[in-house]
Amino acid sequence: MKKISMGSDHAAFEFKGKAIKYLEAKGYEVEDFGPFTEGAVDYPDFVYPAVKNVVDHDDTIGIVMCGSGIGANIVANKVVGARAALVYDPEIAKTTREHNDSNVLVLGPRFTSEENLYAIIDNFLNTEFSNDERHIKRIEKIKGVEANER
């Protein structure tokens, strides 16, 4: 079973707690990178270590979030090796796994119903990469972009 690396900001704190309970009930091992209280915080302080943990461990998937998901998505995609996708729709969660082999799911709980958030998580975690040659080629090109930016 995959491990889940999670981080958020204060705006997503409440849903992160619910998501951790939801995932643990399904048998996932969740590592929470914070925050651990509801006070105002800066999402890079918690999203970055959660995503770094994903790229450092092949058996780990990331789920990070902030109020809109936008800031968390920007931070996540700064980490070399992360393929983070900000997802507001369950079908897109499947697509980003199938086509992009995304290893980090980014959520924006302020703009998505709780029911949809759980459906997005399930679709993301239950969908495998297609291994289609055209998608592999594109992911290799993404890695090339990262290499050029180092």
Given 10, 57, 66, 135, which residue is catalytic? 66
State CA 97 to chain mean position distance.
11
32/20 Cα distance (integer angstroms): 8
Residue among 10, 57, 99, 135 flagged as catalytic: 99
Distance of alpha carbon 146 from the chain centroid: 19
**Catalytic site residue 10?**
no
Assess whether 135 carries a catalytic annotation: no
CA distance 23 to 30: 7
What's the CA angle centered on 99, arms 79 and 140, to 5 degrees? Answer: 55
Q: Which residues are catalytic?
A: 66, 99
